[in-house]
Amino acid sequence: MLLMAEDKPPPATLPSLLNITVIWGQIAPYLPVSSVAALLGTSKDLRHSLQQDPDTFRYLDLSTIRTHPTAHLLGNLLSRLDETFDQSRTEDQFYAAPLRRIFSQLERKGQLRNVRTMILDGLSVTADLVHEIMSGENFHVRILSIREVRNMNERKLQQVLRYAVRPSRPEGTPRVKGIYVFGMAELPHGRKTLEERLEHMPYDEIQAMKAQWDGSTLTDVVNALAKTDERWYQGPGSKFPKAPSLDGSMFPKRPSLPWAQTLAACEGIIAFDAVLCRGPQHDPWRIGQDKFTPEGHQAVGLHSVIASVALGPAGCDTCHWSPEGPAQYGQSSLSQLPLLSPLPRHSSDIKDAQRPPRSGRDRANMMFARCDICLTGRRCQRCYKWWDEECYFGSASAQRTEMQIIEAMQGLQSDEKDGSAPKETIKIIGVRRDCFDCGPTCITCKQLFMRKCTKCKNEYCLEDNDASSETKCDWCNSGGRRTADWY
């Protein structure tokens, strides 16, 4: 018994567990920088062992630092003008000074070279600082996130990216293989930052969030919207079907045309959280083909445009496909797949950042995405069905006039009552803008929401005309004497 008591191992302590590389490698990416700094200050032995571990700052998220470094610097400059202010300092050096000091401290401790994933969302980041991260010898960053940063000159950033992928660049450069720049940044659990985000959100969208996320905090809701791993592959209306900004639009701000040219220049070298539209109108080899060009229209090729609308895995409502085909993980080229959010914590490989979420649904790894130009006149703004070029111009029903469509539907209804014809004999496709507020809608949504007033014979929408009924519009349905209200 005494021998057994003497051979009993000592109880495990926190330092002994954190010294195990496998355990620390799994825990470190989930700890904010402040927690890691506090942990390093607990004991000298623990600080020495963790500082030597490359996993300590492999995943560096500085977006949790919610201070205003620019205002703090300005206060110091005004209070000590003679000592700290340098008139030769450029604007980029001034705005990037806080992050440069952080990088200098990490470099002195030998941790900067171990950073592989760096998140600078919402901070003061300049184009020159991005250039240093991409080409500096002290940086070995593979994935960089600069979403919703401040003091960024986008034109200069585009020039930096094009210079980094120039044909005469040194071998092995650029080291950065993936950049998050277009999407919505994930919010930390902070009340002030959340209120700043909600100030720019429509009231109807916030009410839709509250109704469908009952029991959840608004921080969780906004973070769920920022997770594009599901939105790219699920398409519109998956969680908030009535929210106006969740109709498949992937970016809070539409990327400009020079960004599309930048993505085209970086194709195959740097991946982004956006992809170029691959519609037939952007393919010069398909321009002029009869099946892609409507009768009476001249074939005109479009310049490169970023695909800003995710259409989900279903494809065209008629053929469930598209002329360009879907982007599939594992089969399509990496330039056709966007970087997904949230960023991978335990890997800095681009393939892991582009990996879609696991799901048991059919066609779960298929992604259809297009720009607004390619979807003009093809997509219903209510049910989000859309039709590709082959089905829209190849089907005979698409060339019918409105009177021919009504007559065909009346004939179908009479045949269905007699039982002489099955349903869906003639498919009515295409969209029209019958309601200004609803936007272009298909014939199915028109039957659900549009009515014809029995009194004035005008068409009206049931949802957008609050005082209307099933038989009368809001004007004819209101009683009393009608007078013009000038005030």
Q: Is the pLDDT of residue 205 over 90?
A: no
Least confident of 26-35, 127-136, 247-256: 247-256
Least confident of 198-207, 223-232, 359-368: 198-207
Residue 322 lies in a domain: yes
What pLDDT score was predicted for residue 266? 95
Residue 277 lies in a domain: yes
Alpha carbons 133 and 127: distance in angstroms, whole number: 10
What pLDDT score was predicted for residue 395? 40
In terms of domains, do 300 and 420 share one? no
In terms of domains, do 442 and 413 share one? no
Segment 194-217 shows an average pLDDT of 57
Sheet-wide strand order for 366-370: 309-312, 366-370, 327-328
Helix 127-135 × helix 154-164 angle, to 10°: 20
Share of the chain above pLDDT 90, in %: 25
What pLDDT score was predicted for residue 337? 94
Do the beta carbons of residue 69 and residue 98 sit within 8 Å? yes
What pLDDT score was predicted for residue 344? 93
Segment 395-402 shows an average pLDDT of 44
Residue 381 lies in a domain: yes
Least confident of 24-33, 89-98, 310-319: 89-98
Q: Is the pLDDT of residue 246 over 60?
A: no
Which one has a higher pLDDT value, 450 or 402?
A: 450
Paired with 238 in beta bridges are: none
Q: Is the pLDDT of residue 146 over 80?
A: yes
In terms of domains, do 412 and 437 share one? no
Alpha carbons 68 and 421: distance in angstroms, whole number: 69
Q: Is the pLDDT of residue 263 over 90?
A: yes
Segment 412-430 shows an average pLDDT of 53
Question: Per this entry, what is the length of the chain?
Answer: 487
In terms of domains, do 457 and 351 share one? no
- Quick one: which of 356, 357, 365, 374 has its CA closest to 309? 374
Class of residue 433 by CB neighbours under 10 A (exposed 0-12, middle 13-18, buried 19+)? exposed
In terms of domains, do 319 and 450 share one? no
Give the pLDDT confidence of 68-103 residue by residue, as tens digits.
444 444 445 444 444 444 556 777 778 888 899 999
Contacts with 440 (C-beta within 8 Å, 6 or more apart), sequence order: 377, 379, 380, 381, 431, 432, 433
Model confidence at 286, pLDDT cuts 50, 70, 90, reads: low
Give the pLDDT confidence of 350-395 residue by residue, as tens digits.
999 999 887 656 667 889 999 988 888 888 888 888 998 888 763 4
In terms of domains, do 170 and 68 share one? yes
What pLDDT score was predicted for residue 455? 87
Residue 44 lies in a domain: no
What pLDDT score was predicted for residue 74? 45
Which one has a higher pLDDT value, 442 or 189?
A: 442
Most confident of 39-43, 223-227, 242-246, 333-337: 333-337
* First-to-final CA distance of the chain: 97
Q: Is the pLDDT of residue 40 over 70?
A: yes
What pLDDT score was predicted for residue 87? 59
Which one has a higher pLDDT value, 360 or 269?
A: 269
Give the pLDDT confidence of 157-183 residue by residue, as tens digits.
999 999 999 999 998 889 999 999 998
Residue 365 lies in a domain: yes
In terms of domains, do 408 and 445 share one? no
Least confident of 163-167, 299-303, 306-310, 327-331: 299-303
What pLDDT score was predicted for residue 283? 72
Residue 211 lies in a domain: no
What pLDDT score was predicted for residue 172? 87
Q: Which domain holds residue 358?
A: 227-386
What pLDDT score was predicted for residue 399? 44
In terms of domains, do 373 and 239 share one? yes
In terms of domains, do 405 and 361 share one? no
What pLDDT score was predicted for residue 404? 52
In terms of domains, do 232 and 353 share one? yes
Three-state secondary structure readout of 258-314:
HHHHHHHHCCCCCEECCCECCCHHHCCCCCCCHHHCCCCCCCCCCCCCECCEEEECC
Residue 17 lies in a domain: no
Least confident of 33-47, 95-109, 198-212: 198-212
Helix 218-226 × helix 191-198 angle, to 10°: 60
What pLDDT score was predicted for residue 282? 82
In terms of domains, do 437 and 422 share one? no
In terms of domains, do 400 and 437 share one? no
Q: Is the pLDDT of residue 203 over 90?
A: no
Residue 37 lies in a domain: no
Which one has a higher pLDDT value, 314 or 103?
A: 103
Model confidence at 295, pLDDT cuts 50, 70, 90, reads: very low
Average pLDDT, the chain: 76
